[in-house]
Structure 1
Amino acid sequence: MRFAAALTAGAALIAAILSPETALAAEAHELPGAAMSLWWVLPFAGLLLCIATGPLLFHHAWEHHYGKIAAFWAALVIGPLAIAFGIPSATQAVLHALLTEYMSFIILLFALFTISGGIFVAGNIHGTPLVNAGLLLGGAVLASVIGTTGASMILIRPLIRANDNRRFNAHVVIFFIFLVSNIGGSLTPLGDPPLFVGFLRGVDFFWTTVHLLPETLFVAGVVLAVFLAIDIILHHREEGAPKIKDPTPDTKVRIRGLANIPLLAGVIAAILISAAWKPGVSFAFQGVSLELQNLVRDAAIMILAFTSLVVSPKEFRGANAFSWGPIAEVAKLFASIFICIVPVVAILRAGLDGALAPLVLLVSSPTGAPDNLAYFWLTGALSSFLDNAPTYLVFFELAGGDPQHLMTELASTLAAISAGAVFMGANTYVGNAPNFMVYAIARHRGIKMPSFFGYMAWSGAVLIPTFLLAGFLFFR
């Protein structure tokens, strides 16, 4: 009882500190971002810090209790929200994030993870620099067809097997995250969630294919060239070291589990149909509107995922070293991330009236015209740590929110927002969902992946200079 009383009192104190305008906030069901201070960002920052340092500083505890740690940070958002702004507003804000964003997000990831796990690329591909570069290039192209998550889940295991007898192989996975899990998904709305959000808002399906093609070719080309140079150097260094026995025997390369290919096509079809079919039917749950087409889409995707479990032989998943560990880790951590970014997104949506107003001012020139370079970097910087879909939406709205205007007179602005959201999701492990899934799979397969900050050292050395050049060439 004493603990409960102390917890309640503490939450009340935190709420009072975070927002003195409690009475005003309680009147509306939407969170008043203009009345929220930067203190609300702390739980999100704390969660990211734990994700960054947990596997490095307290590995054993993190492995066994990361779900509890994530739930702790989520509770530090939910409790104060309920006290500061009232239970109805807090409930609606959190449920909106979970039911309309997180559930569709994790259902899609679960389906792509499950279906792709049943596709087994049998045989052994030797991971020479040219072979690795070919796999990365092919994966980047595939990412815009079946999405960064689908391409990542299909190709990461063959890539790991191709390099499992090399002393230096973590860099191959890192560049895989750069190119396949992010940059490659920039050419269609199917490629990456922020582009799909734009498609739902009225951006033409092939607009990104036309307007982001030069930027994508440049960025992907530079990153691939850097990878090839690094891999050649490391491969040459390995030649003078004692050989590591290849754990994967040499056999003919074959694709097994072909029954999953039409299931992947079904997932893509479900997404396209949900975007085109607008019956105008919705259901309200605790103040959250759930549209029929989205419910049908998610149900269809789940059915396809479970169908994959039925039709895929268990030996294919076993050969892939398939386990539920990576998707469980992603599900728990991203549930907390989606909750913790609720107040952050509310502050961003307040624009000039919010605590992050200095960021909003940075995207406008002194004449009031949009600063495309600022849009590129700010969208990208926030997409490196926040979920890139809502970040894209925030800057889409800041740029006017009219898709016809953005696709024509402000085409360069929309291109800057789109490129920043997709490209710079590669800057951290949490910038895009496939990043963490690939990291988790590689770590489960025994690859010594760099820590959160170690990965950022790689992205800072490779990606940031590339983005600086891209910004100068395309958005200045």
Structure 2
Amino acid sequence: MRRSRAVGACLLVAGLLATFPGQAAAAGVSGAGMSLAWGIPFAGLLLSIALMPLVAGHVWHHHYGKIAAGWGALLVLPFAVVFGPDVAAAEVWHILLQEYIPFIALLLALYVTGGGVLLKGTLVGTPATNTALLAFGTVIASIMGTTGASMLLIRPVLRANAFRKRKTHTFVFFIFLVSNIGGSLTPLGDPPLYLGFLKGVSFFWTTTHMFGEFLVCAVILLAVYYVLDSRAWAKEQPVIPDTGAKEPLRLEGTVNLALIGAVVLMVLAQGYWRPGEVALFGDSIGIERLVGIAVFVAIAFVSMRVTSPALREANGFAWGAILEVAKLFAAIFVTMAPVLAILRAGMDGAAAPLVALTSDPAGQPVPWVYFWLTGALSSFLDNAPTYLVFFNLAGGDPAYLMTQGALTLAAISCGAVFMGANSYIGNAPNFMVKAIVEENGERMPSFFGYCGWAVVFLIPLFILVTLIFF
């Protein structure tokens, strides 16, 4: 009975989508003419992530993978009915090979290595200590990536604040700063900037052209956080647990720091080493990307072998967070493909009214519009492909964009990196931090609750950034 209902629902969606003109969004095929109705499964998945933990929490926590797969099927099966099974299979394989597998392999390596570094010693989550931890994470995020910095520091932050009751704001600002804004100074920091690097943007261009925006956001958010945490401390008046003599801070599992360095070097090498492409089941992929996938998986394996189970247990390491991200983002990558295809079509696509806003009547780019459109879409689509859409919309010529078009490129870069913090799915580390915090028995805001924090603290900041820089 359930199977017949599922098939019936897929055929109904296929019939709805078939009434709209459009061509397949398979690999290399334009999304021009595609209807926005193809975005229905993506919207449904987002609403499920946002609402089901609130209205049907038990069902969601036990079946979120099946629900996500169901939304993926509600796109793929109608797609196969309308355009043919071969086109649907090619599209899904393209997404898996080119985007999802490299994405999850990198996250796996950083998750496992970051979970193998244990910060021991007396670390008490006072306002000053917490602010220092967030500031440190914000700085190192551009060196080891937002994912690496987040995985390295979220567990020490959890342990430092274990005795406190008012601490949700700490985890929210951790996502704002360490998981997003901190990664804005180098291509190693955040995936959108790395894609720009692969497209020809010089390595230190972001360091010199985004430093002002980064500094304004980081300083203001750290100052606001210190005030919030000081107020929370004063209201709570927590009793600092007596753990005996203070232990100096020290790191265990330092071999994992070397492994994190190996991950960073492999990411960087992929930007310079281009030995050619190979075909896998009808789709081509760079050899350097396949090598990268193999290296990331090998690093994760080595990390598990050389790190003692006792250290991981003391660090609160578990597989739940990465499994949740793997399942949900597989469906996100598949269902958002038509939306990105429509955006890539520019003025020939159903999103033409939005695209038209990026230029003034004289045909010149409007940087502040690029900042907000890139940011708004990065808040709910993956920020890396969204960056590429607007990079190409602005001309796609790195030599021009780094010089005459520098303000436009800075606006696109800031929008993608900064506003990935606006929701849990704007950037992968956001969801991973949320999952790890909840694994440790702490509460995090709901999807809309977190977006509410972003509206209160981030949107006014981004308006200020617009007025100062764009």
Aligned position for 1:392:
387
Evaluate the alpha carbon distance shift between residue 463 and residue 248 of structure 1 in structure 2; reply closer, same or farther with a 3 A threshold: farther
C-alpha distance in 2 between matches for 1:442 and 1:27? 37
Following superposition, the deviation at residue 362 of structure 1 comes to: 1.3
Following superposition, the deviation at residue 13 of structure 1 comes to: 4.1
C-alpha distance in 2 between matches for 1:417 and 1:83? 37
Pairwise mapping of residues 58-207 of structure 1 onto structure 2 (< 5 A)?
Answer: 58-207=56-205
CA RMSD, aligned part only? 1.9
Match of 2:427 among 432, 438, 443: 432
For residue 435 of structure 1, what is the amino acid of its counterpart? Answer: N
Q: Is contact 2:30–2:344 with CA below 8 Å preserved after alignment?
A: no
Evaluate the alpha carbon distance shift between residue 289 and residue 251 of structure 1 in structure 2; reply closer, same or farther with a 3 A threshold: same
Match of 2:441 among 442, 446, 454: 446
Following superposition, the deviation at residue 339 of structure 1 comes to: 0.5
C-alpha distance in 2 between matches for 1:27 and 1:393? 17
Aligned position for 1:232:
230
Q: Please list the CA deviations of residues 237-270 of structure 1 after superposition, one character each: whole Å capped at 9, or x if unmatched.
A: 112x7x4757999533210001111111111111
Pairwise mapping of residues 77-476 of structure 1 onto structure 2 (< 5 A)?
Answer: 77-239=75-237, 243=239, 251-285=247-281, 287-475=282-470
Q: Please list the CA deviations of residues 70-99 of structure 1 after superposition, one character each: whole Å capped at 9, or x if unmatched.
A: 000010111111112222222222211111
Evaluate the alpha carbon distance shift between residue 29 and residue 139 of structure 1 in structure 2; reply closer, same or farther with a 3 A threshold: closer
Evaluate the alpha carbon distance shift between residue 380 and residue 29 of structure 1 in structure 2; reply closer, same or farther with a 3 A threshold: closer
Aligned position for 2:10:
11
Following superposition, the deviation at residue 273 of structure 1 comes to: 1.4
Evaluate the alpha carbon distance shift between residue 368 and residue 115 of structure 1 in structure 2; reply closer, same or farther with a 3 A threshold: same
What SS is found at the alignment partner of 2:280? strand
Q: Is 168-177 or 4-13 further displaced after alignment? A: 4-13
Q: Is 5-14 or 335-344 further displaced after alignment? A: 5-14
C-alpha distance in 2 between matches for 1:445 and 1:457? 23
C-alpha distance in 2 between matches for 1:120 and 1:16? 54
Q: Is contact 2:39–2:339 with CA below 8 Å preserved after alignment?
A: yes
What SS is found at the alignment partner of 2:23? helix
What SS is found at the alignment partner of 2:193? helix
Evaluate the alpha carbon distance shift between residue 138 and residue 57 of structure 1 in structure 2; reply closer, same or farther with a 3 A threshold: same
What SS is found at the alignment partner of 2:125? coil
C-alpha distance in 2 between matches for 1:311 and 1:89? 44
Evaluate the alpha carbon distance shift between residue 246 and residue 173 of structure 1 in structure 2; reply closer, same or farther with a 3 A threshold: farther
C-alpha distance in 2 between matches for 1:92 and 1:52? 30
* Structure 1, gaps ≥5 residues long: none
Following superposition, the deviation at residue 28 of structure 1 comes to: 7.5
Following superposition, the deviation at residue 443 of structure 1 comes to: 0.8
C-alpha distance in 2 between matches for 1:98 and 1:28? 12
Q: Please list the CA deviations of residues 340-374 of structure 1 after superposition, one character each: whole Å capped at 9, or x if unmatched.
A: 10111111111112111111011111211001000
Q: Is contact 1:124–1:248 with CA below 8 Å preserved after alignment?
A: no
Q: Is 27-36 or 436-445 further displaced after alignment? A: 27-36
Q: Is 3-12 or 366-375 further displaced after alignment? A: 3-12
Matched residue pairs, number? 470
For residue 204 of structure 2, what is the amino acid of its counterpart? Answer: F
Q: Please list the CA deviations of residues 46-89 of structure 1 after superposition, one character each: whole Å capped at 9, or x if unmatched.
A: 11111111222211111110100100001011111111222222
For residue 344 of structure 1, what is the amino acid of its counterpart? Answer: V
What SS is found at the alignment partner of 2:458? helix
Evaluate the alpha carbon distance shift between residue 451 and residue 280 of structure 1 in structure 2; reply closer, same or farther with a 3 A threshold: same
C-alpha distance in 2 between matches for 1:119 and 1:344? 39
Q: Please list the CA deviations of residues 136-165 of structure 1 after superposition, one character each: whole Å capped at 9, or x if unmatched.
A: 010000100000000000000001111111
For residue 18 of structure 1, what is the amino acid of its counterpart? Answer: L
For residue 91 of structure 2, what is the amino acid of its counterpart? Answer: A
Evaluate the alpha carbon distance shift between residue 55 and residue 6 of structure 1 in structure 2; reply closer, same or farther with a 3 A threshold: closer
What SS is found at the alignment partner of 1:282? strand
Q: Is contact 2:23–2:34 with CA below 8 Å preserved after alignment?
A: no
Aligned position for 1:42:
40
What SS is found at the alignment partner of 1:347? helix
Q: Is 70-79 or 7-16 further displaced after alignment? A: 7-16
Output the TM-score relative to the length of structure 1: 0.95
Q: Please list the CA deviations of residues 405-438 of structure 1 after superposition, one character each: whole Å capped at 9, or x if unmatched.
A: 1111100000000000000000001110000000
C-alpha distance in 2 between matches for 1:247 and 1:165? 12
Following superposition, the deviation at residue 16 of structure 1 comes to: 3.6
Following superposition, the deviation at residue 377 of structure 1 comes to: 0.3
Following superposition, the deviation at residue 19 of structure 1 comes to: 3.9
Q: Please list the CA deviations of residues 298-352 of structure 1 after superposition, one character each: whole Å capped at 9, or x if unmatched.
A: 1011111110011111111011110000000000000000001011111111111
Q: Is contact 2:13–2:74 with CA below 8 Å preserved after alignment?
A: no
Following superposition, the deviation at residue 10 of structure 1 comes to: 4.7
Following superposition, the deviation at residue 29 of structure 1 comes to: 6.0
C-alpha distance in 1 between matches for 2:104 and 2:376? 23
Evaluate the alpha carbon distance shift between residue 25 and residue 456 of structure 1 in structure 2; reply closer, same or farther with a 3 A threshold: closer
Q: Percent identity?
A: 53
Q: Please list the CA deviations of residues 7-55 of structure 1 after superposition, one character each: whole Å capped at 9, or x if unmatched.
A: 5565344224224467x73698644422221111111111111111122
